[in-house]
Amino acid sequence: MIHLFASYDPKAEVWVAKVDELPIDPTTLRAATLDDLLAKAWAMIRDVTGDHVEGFQLIVNVGKHERGLLETLHLMRSPANAKRLDESIADANEGKVTEFRP
C-alpha cells in the first residue's frame, strides 16, 4: 500500500506531497492544483514501481485554509456552478449584496 500525503501550502500557493514508502524526492511533488499533483505523483510512483502498485491511498491534510479551497474546487468542477459562483463574486464586488440575518 502506497500512501500519498498531500497538503496545500498557502504561502507558496501550491499543493505539496510526500510518499514515505518510495524513494521520491518530496521537493519534486509540487503542483498548482490537487488534480495536477495527483497526476504528477501517480506518474512518479509508476516510474519507481514499474506499474506494480497493489494499493494506493491518498491522505489529504485539510487545515482551515484547505477546507474552503477543497469545497470551491469541488463546486467549480461543474460549469454551471462555476458560472453562478463567478456571477455572485462579480455582484459582491460591485456592491450588489443583501445582508441576511437569521
Looking at the chain, the domain(s) classified CATH 3.30.2390.10 span 1-61
Residue 22 grid cell:
518510495
> What's the pLDDT score for residue 86?
84
47-95, pLDDT tens digit by residue? Answer: 877 766 666 566 666 556 566 666 776 777 788 888 888 888 888 889 8
Contacts with 45 (C-beta within 8 Å, 6 or more apart), sequence order: 2, 4, 19, 22, 24, 53, 56
> What's the pLDDT score for residue 9?
81
Residue found by looking up cell 510518499 in the block:
19
> What's the pLDDT score for residue 75?
76
Q: Is the pTM here over 0.75, yes or no?
A: no
**Pair type for strands 14-19 and 30-31:** antiparallel
CATH topology of domain 1-61: TTHA1013/TTHA0281-like (3.30.2390)
